[in-house]
Amino acid sequence: MTEPGTDIPPRQLITSLYGLYARAEHDWLSVAALVRLMEDLGVDAAAVRSSVSRLKKRDVLRSMKREGRAGYALSPDTLAILREGDVRIFSRPRATPEDGWLVVVFSVPESERERRHALRAQLVRLGLGTAAPGVWMAPGTLFDEVALVLERTELMSYTEFFRSEYLGPGDVTEKLPEWWDLDELEALYTDFHATYAPVRKRLAGTAPSADVAFRLYVPMLTAWRRLPYRDPGLPLEYLPSGWKGVTAGQLFADLDDLLRGPADEHAQQVLHAGGGTE
């Protein structure tokens, strides 16, 4: 049986492996361990080398030897991004109407056009919506996270932050689809649920082996981890009835509870075997 997630690009799987298992290993994995773990996910060594090369060019990974063994370490920026992502991915925080809105406006001189592009890219990555040209929005609960990221990327000085409430015209539920692409987001949630609900059903009442759990868990997490960024915890009260994000989120939580432990057991066996980090 072909497991779901076989179409995920190898570089995304590598990033997930580092986020899950490298941080407990001084943010480093040996080449041998990485190749073995990726083989267990159905990716051959040539594809791993090609993907690592791309990740090194983007300064996601850096070549580093430890005790004479070749390997790759997380760059400081990537490590910070993974730490920030833990909250969204595993806690799945969601705002309420009482939290209000965070409004971000920015002004970047024409001479610093690259900084303007970088700032917009960060706001998009964090899931902010656009209420008007140059006016970006998020649930009020996101201030600390947005401020932390903009400070880390040295973009804070170009921005102004406001807390607000929506006063019309019209209702917030009518405006939200103008600020965020809710149809696209719901389609992503629907696709995740359609892909992984059969896995939950198949595993019901069973205890998957460590290697099976690993092969299921890493692609599942990789498929999920972009969704909490596309949906920045928008209040359910403003979202369409029967919002698919609720059922998809519960599915992720169920599979995370079922698979994370045995998947970690498999990873640790590889990391601390002959080709691992010890």
Q: Model confidence over 240-274: pLDDT tens digits?
A: 999 999 999 999 999 999 999 999 999 999 998 85
Confirm whether 92 is domain-assigned: no
pLDDT in tens, 19-46: 999 998 999 999 999 999 999 999 999 9
The alpha carbon of 270 is separated from its chain's Cα centroid by a whole number of angstroms, namely 24
**Does one domain contain both 142 and 201?**
no
According to the 3-state scheme, what is the secondary structure of the chain?
CCCCCCCCCHHHHHHHHHHHHHHHHCCEEEHHHHHHHHHHCCCCHHHHHHHHHHHHHCCCEEEEEECCEEEEEECHHHHHHHHHHHHHHHHCCCCCHHHCEEEEEECCCHHHHHHHHHHHHHHHHCCCEEEECCEEEEEHHHHHHHHHHHHHCCCHHHEEEEEECCCCCCCHHHHHHHHCCHHHHHHHHHHHHHHHHHHHHHHCCCCCCHHHHHHHHHHHHHHHCCHHHHCCCCCHHHCCCCCHHHHHHHHHHHHHHHHHHHHHHHHHHHHCCCCCCC
Residue 115 and residue 108 in contact, taking contact as beta carbons nearer than 8 Å: yes
State how far the Cα of 119 lies from the Cα of 107, in Å rounded to an integer: 10
**pLDDT value of residue 73:** 96
Q: What is the pLDDT averaged over residues 164-175? A: 87
Q: Please list the residues that pair with 106 across neighbouring strands.
A: 159
Number of domains the chain contains: 3
State how far the Cα of 131 lies from the Cα of 168, in Å rounded to an integer: 12
**Does one domain contain both 111 and 144?**
yes
Confirm whether 175 is domain-assigned: no
**Does one domain contain both 265 and 196?**
yes
Confirm whether 234 is domain-assigned: yes
- CA dihedral (64, 77, 61, 86) positive or negative: positive
Q: Which domain holds residue 246?
A: 181-271
**Does one domain contain both 56 and 30?**
yes
**pLDDT value of residue 67:** 87
Per-residue pLDDT at 187 exceeds 70: yes
**Does one domain contain both 58 and 129?**
no
Q: Could you tell me the pLDDT band of residue 2, with boundaries at 50, 70 and 90? A: low
Confirm whether 127 is domain-assigned: yes
**pLDDT value of residue 275:** 45
**pLDDT value of residue 184:** 94
Q: Could you tell me the pLDDT band of residue 276, with boundaries at 50, 70 and 90? A: very low
Per-residue pLDDT at 168 exceeds 80: no
Q: What is the pLDDT averaged over residues 125-129? A: 92
Q: Could you tell me the pLDDT band of residue 277, with boundaries at 50, 70 and 90? A: very low
Domain boundary at 77, 110, 132, which?
A: 77
Confirm whether 139 is domain-assigned: yes
Tokens 């070549």 belong to residue: 63
